[in-house]
Amino acid sequence: MNDMDDMDDQKPMLTSLNLEFPVWEQTYTVHPLVIVGTIEPDDSPDFAPKHLAFPMGWQNYFGFVCTPAHGTYQNIKRTKEFTVTYPKPDQVLQVSLTATPRCDDNTKPEIKAISKFPALDVHGYLVEDGYLFLECRLHKIIDGFGENSIIIGEIVQARADTDVVRTPSHDDNETIFQHPQIAFIAPNRFAIIDETQAFPFPANFKKTDLPE
């Protein structure tokens, strides 16, 4: 047996996924976990968990996937504003509460149990004890991804727990170790990240070289 045969033996077996079903439900993938806040027609706060959520480019834009069937989409379309809270690991149950289905009267009573505080620059609320808080004004809604849409907001106010703000005097790895983060392992699990390694960027690497 030659070296090429050895390499062939080490290759993983590949399975074709059934595209009649979402790929994302047939494998595990890593995503952030955030809570999007909006205002209901009766002026009460609403919160919903989102994991298809991400920065939109290098500037201060934030986007997430939603569907017109959800109150979050309709609230943002009406008010043109929303908030984003990045929760801490000990808030997993609170995040779960925000996923509670609406009652027959279209309300979510569990939201009342969530501690919140008002936003500064938009009409809305953020969830207490998170580590990063964004206030956004609607930039664009892009429909047409099957039943889904992408909602993009411009960040007009941002605050963070002082202990997690990156500074030259604090080691990045130690900061994350002392203040772990939640990752949603889609479609149905989560993980707590407290150990990281520096990425081995090549020499003379620039931010614009990052994969998009």
**Spatial separation of the C-alpha atoms in residues 63 and 154, rounded to whole Å:** 9
CA neighbours closer than 13 Å in the CB half-sphere of residue 56: 20
Whether residue 19 is contained in a domain is answered as no
Rg (CA), the chain: 20
Whether residue 100 is contained in a domain is answered as yes
Q: Can you list the residues of the chain whose pLDDT is less than 70?
A: 1-9, 104-106, 207-212
**Spatial separation of the C-alpha atoms in residues 193 and 88, rounded to whole Å:** 11
Residue 108's pLDDT is what?
A: 75
Whether residue 11 is contained in a domain is answered as no
Residue 34's pLDDT is what?
A: 98
Domain encompassing residue 64: 27-204
Number of domains within the chain: 1
**Spatial separation of the C-alpha atoms in residues 197 and 172, rounded to whole Å:** 9
- Is 137 strand, coil or helix? strand
Whether residue 212 is contained in a domain is answered as no
